[in-house]
Amino acid sequence: MLRRVAACLAVMIVPACACAQAGPERYLPPRTQIYVHWDGFDAHRATYEKSALGQMMKGDTGKFFDAVWDWINDAAEVAGQADPQAPAMIKDGLKSLSGISKHGFALSIEAKGIVPPQAQLTLVFPKAAGKGGVMLPLIRRAADQAGAPVQDTKVGNRTIQHVSVPFVNFGWWNEGDDAVIMIGTDDPVAYARLIDSNETGLAQTPLYRQVTAFKEFPIWARGYVDMASLAKVGGDVSPEVSRLVEDLGLKSLKSITFVSGFDGPAERSVTEIEISGPRKGLLALAGQKKISLARLPAMPDDLTRFTASNFNAGSFYDAGVQVVEAVVRMFAPDVADNIKEGIKQFEGILGVRLGEDLFGSFDDMTVTYSAPSEGLPVLGGVYLLKVKNEKKLRDALDSLIRAIPNIPGANIEMKKRDYHGVEINELHLNNPGNFNVPCFCIHKGWFALANYPQSLYGYILRAKGELPTWKADPKLAKALQAFPSEFTSISVSDPRPTVQFLFSVLPPAITLGNSFTQFAPGLRPFDVGLVPHARSATRHLFPNITVTTDDGKKIRSETRASLALPF
The pTM of the full predicted model, rounded to 2 decimals, is: 0.87
- pLDDT beyond 70 at 81: no
Q: For residues 167 and 85, state if they share a domain.
A: yes
Structural domain contains residue 112: yes
Instruction: Please enumerate in sequence order all residues whose Cβ is within 8 A of that of 224, keeping only pairs 6 or more positions apart, or say none.
Output: 34, 35, 207, 208, 210, 211, 255, 256, 257, 258
DSSP code for 105: E
Structural domain contains residue 528: yes
Residue 324 pLDDT grade (very low, low, confident, very high; cuts 50, 70, 90): confident
Task: Answer with the one of 423, 456, 487 that is the final residue of a domain.
Answer: 487
What percent of the chain has a predicted confidence (pLDDT) above 70? 92
Q: For residues 174 and 305, state if they share a domain.
A: no
CB atoms within 10 A of CB 44: 20
Structural domain contains residue 91: yes
DSSP code for 132: T
State residue 10's pLDDT score.
41
Structural domain contains residue 361: yes
Mean pLDDT, the chain, integer = 88
Q: For residues 476 and 504, state if they share a domain.
A: no
Report how far Cα 389 is from the mean position of its chain's Cα atoms: 35
Instruction: Report the alpha-carbon distance of residue 341 to residue 116 in Å, rounded.
Output: 37
Task: Answer with the one of 487, 515, 547 that is the final residue of a domain.
Answer: 487
What percent of the chain has a predicted confidence (pLDDT) above 90? 61
Q: For residues 332 and 195, state if they share a domain.
A: no
Q: For residues 163 and 312, state if they share a domain.
A: no
Q: For residues 399 and 522, state if they share a domain.
A: no
Task: Answer with the one of 458, 487, 516 that is the final residue of a domain.
Answer: 487
**Domain count for the chain:** 2
Instruction: Report the alpha-carbon distance of residue 431 to residue 282 in Å, rounded.
Output: 35
Structural domain contains residue 229: no
Q: For residues 482 and 506, state if they share a domain.
A: no
Instruction: Report the alpha-carbon distance of residue 564 to residue 58 in Å, rounded.
Output: 18
Nearest to 280 by CA among 238, 323, 239, 241: 323
- pLDDT beyond 80 at 410: no
Strand partners, 452: none
| 161-178 average pLDDT score | 93
Q: For residues 167 and 313, state if they share a domain.
A: no
Query: What is the domain range of residue 96?
Result: 2-219+494-561
